[in-house]
């Protein structure tokens, strides 16, 4: 049944989250549209609630930063959409598409420029390295949910 599922080469995938406020504001469709138009193939996708523990784990590199607990509460404030995106040079190209962490510094046409509300509520997550892309994708999607 899962014979068409495939493993992808390192470097060809990235992992994304559409954050709670963007889901709440009806931006799932427009964001996925921009992702597809930009040449990414969506190879896994689902909507879910993060548990507090998962959110703490996901952002653990920031645990000593002043915004950490606020960020965790925000990430569990509503459902999110998680996905795996495939494209040559996926991590770097997707970071270009999402724009700077601070939406005020994000370039025109980027997802954060278009859909972010603030530094914290900045619409989307995109992996920052191939290693993290693989780890994040594996955390959320068993191979039976990757196509
Ligand atoms: P990213 O890779 O561009 O998402 O940025 P980081 O890995 O540095 O930060 C992770 C997330 O933490 C960001 O996407 C923001 O949602 C949030 N964040 C980062 N820096 C700040 C900050 O200075 N203040 C607040 N409130 N949130 C921040």
Query: What digits encode the pLDDT tens for the residues 60-119?
Result: 999 999 999 999 999 999 999 999 999 999 999 999 999 999 999 999 999 999 999 999
Which residue has the least CA distance to atom 14 on ligand 1?
Answer: 101
Alpha carbon of 123 to ligand 1 centroid (Å)? 11
Evaluate whether 114 touches 73 at the Cβ level (below 8 Å).
Answer: no
Alpha carbon of 105 to ligand 1 centroid (Å)? 13
Q: What is the DSSP letter of 145?
A: G
Using CA atoms, how far apart are residues 116 and 110, in angstroms rounded to an integer?
10
Q: Which domains does the chain have, with CATH numbers?
A: 3-145 (3.30.70.141)
Instruction: Give, for ligand 1, the residue of 18, 58, 94, 120 to mutate: max count of ligand atoms closer than 8 Å to Cβ.
Output: 120
Model pLDDT, residue 3:
44
Q: Which residues, judged by CB distance below 6 Å to any ligand atom, belong to the binding site of ligand 1?
A: 62, 67, 70-71, 101, 119-120, 122, 125, 128
């Amino acid at each position: 049944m899962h014979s068409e599922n495939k493993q992808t080469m390192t470097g060809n995938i990235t992992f994304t989250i559409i954050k709670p406020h963007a889901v709440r504001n009806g931006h799932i469709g427009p964001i996925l549209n921009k992702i597809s138009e930009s040449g990414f193939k969506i190879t896994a996708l689902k909507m879910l609630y993060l548990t507090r523990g998962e959110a703490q784990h996901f952002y653990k590199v920031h645990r000593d930063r002043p915004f950490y607990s606020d960020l965790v509460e925000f990430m569990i404030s509503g459902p999110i959409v998680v996905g795996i995106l495939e494209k040559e040079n996926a991590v770097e190209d997707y970071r270009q598409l999402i724009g700077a962490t601070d939406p005020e510094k994000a370039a025109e046409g980027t997802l954060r420029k278009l859909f972010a509300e603030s530094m914290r509520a900045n619409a989307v997550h995109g992996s920052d390295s191939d290693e993290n892309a693989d780890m994040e994708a594996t955390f959320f999607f068993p191979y039976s949910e990757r196509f």
